[in-house]
């Protein structure tokens, strides 16, 4: 994820001797996500992603897959919203034919069908995910959408606590979509209400950690649960906050034969790290 330090709107700046309210902090975080979308229109990043199928009883791996990908962040035309797209370049160190530079070539080309083509690339890349589920929420920016001004009214927010991270005081804010949700849906079209937590610097709204939880994403599997956590770091070259690491965990009804020839439950784990943030020269927006 890539965040530019936002300009603080008059009335939202911290006042001497006055503690900000939760509404103040959420407004700053919302403005931060908008500025974030503006910053993302000119940056690509590399992703090193290891996914594993893990026996639930022993936490040992039964299967592993390594993905090397590029991530692009682009903004919708006439909107403050943005989307993230992954293009897988190599699977287990074996290059994927014709994939190198695919996103950058697309983003430098005509915008006529950019959104459709970018989504096709993201959908095509999703097939490389390990495990029995298709998923496209496993990009590091997903949780930020819930505090975006356009979607924030659809969520309930509560301040959980405060803590110090890297010498900086942050608020831990819990969020939960109201009613049936709307940002995340299952393959059969059913919306899946999301919840989670955001670690927000109250003075300017920066999000330095995030957590996203989605339940019941497997049809007929009422105990299924997805958890995605992201941490950020400051990139000195870009003078921006960028995603450092994303971890994910999916638990569901899946079973397989173990070494003892017994059918046992397994989960899906993943860890992705991000590097080589770089700008390209065109201002990319999608319709």
CATH number, position 109: 2.50.20
The mean of the pLDDT values for the chain is 84
Residue 78 reports pLDDT greater than 60: no
Cβ–Cβ < 8 Å for 68, 49: yes
Q: What pLDDT is stored for residue 10 in this prediction?
A: 29
In angstroms, how far is the first alpha carbon of the chain from the final one?
Answer: 21
87 within a domain of the structure (yes/no): yes
Question: CB-based burial of residue 261 (10 Å sphere; 0-12 exposed, 13-18 middle, 19+ buried)?
Answer: exposed
Name residues whose C-beta falls within 8 Å of residue 276's C-beta, 6 or more positions apart in sequence: 45, 46
Q: What pLDDT is stored for residue 11 in this prediction?
A: 34
5 within a domain of the structure (yes/no): no
Task: Among 13-22, 64-73, 266-275, name the one with the lowest average pLDDT.
Answer: 13-22
pLDDT band at 164; cut points 50, 70, 90: very high
Residue 75 reports pLDDT greater than 60: yes
Q: Name residue, tokens 């009335």.
A: 11
Distance CA 284, CA 77 (A): 9
Q: What pLDDT is stored for residue 16 in this prediction?
A: 53
124 within a domain of the structure (yes/no): yes
Q: What pLDDT is stored for residue 216 in this prediction?
A: 87
pLDDT band at 13; cut points 50, 70, 90: very low
229-270 pLDDT, tens digit each:
999 999 888 888 889 999 999 999 999 998 888 999 999 999
Domain count, the chain: 1
pTM across the whole model: 0.86
Q: What pLDDT is stored for residue 280 in this prediction?
A: 72
39 within a domain of the structure (yes/no): yes
Residue 7 reports pLDDT greater than 50: no
Distance CA 41, CA 39 (A): 6
8 within a domain of the structure (yes/no): no
7 within a domain of the structure (yes/no): no
For residues 171 and 220, which has the higher predicted lDDT (pLDDT)?
A: 171
Q: Which domain holds residue 238?
A: 22-286
6 within a domain of the structure (yes/no): no
269-286 pLDDT, tens digit each:
999 999 999 887 654 444
3 within a domain of the structure (yes/no): no
Q: What pLDDT is stored for residue 89 in this prediction?
A: 94
Distance CA 149, CA 74 (A): 18
Q: What pLDDT is stored for residue 72 in this prediction?
A: 83
């Amino acid at each position: 994820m890539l965040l530019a330090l936002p300009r603080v709107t008059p009335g939202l700046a911290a006042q001497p001797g006055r503690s900000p309210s939760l509404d103040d902090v959420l407004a700053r975080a919302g403005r931060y996500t908008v500025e974030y979308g503006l910053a993302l229109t000119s940056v690509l990043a590399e992703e090193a992603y290891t996914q594993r199928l893990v026996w639930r009883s022993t936490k040992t791996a039964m299967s592993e897959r390594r993905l090397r990908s590029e991530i692009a962040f682009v903004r919708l035309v006439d909107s403050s919203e943005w989307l993230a797209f992954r293009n897988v370049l190599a699977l287990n160190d074996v290059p994927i034919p014709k994939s190198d530079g695919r996103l950058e070539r697309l983003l430098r080309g005509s915008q006529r069908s950019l959104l459709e083509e970018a989504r096709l690339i993201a959908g095509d890349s999703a097939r490389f995910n390990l495990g029995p589920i298709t998923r496209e929420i496993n990009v590091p920016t997903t949780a930020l959408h819930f505090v975006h001004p356009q979607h924030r009214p659809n969520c309930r927010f509560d301040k959980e606590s405060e803590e110090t991270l890297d010498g900086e005081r942050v608020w831990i804010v819990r969020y939960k979509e109201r009613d049936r949700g709307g940002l995340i849906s299952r393959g059969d079209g059913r919306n899946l209400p999301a919840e989670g937590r955001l670690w927000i610097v109250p003075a300017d709204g920066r999000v330095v950690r995030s957590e996203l939880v989605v339940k019941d994403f497997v049809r007929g599997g009422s105990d299924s649960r997805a958890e995605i956590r992201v941490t950020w770091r400051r990139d000195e070259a870009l003078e921006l906050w960028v995603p450092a690491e994303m971890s994910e965990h999916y638990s569901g009804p899946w079973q397989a034969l173990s070494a003892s020839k017994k059918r046992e439950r397994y989960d899906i784990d993943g860890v992705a790290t991000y590097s080589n943030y770089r700008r390209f020269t065109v201002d990319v927006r999608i319709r």
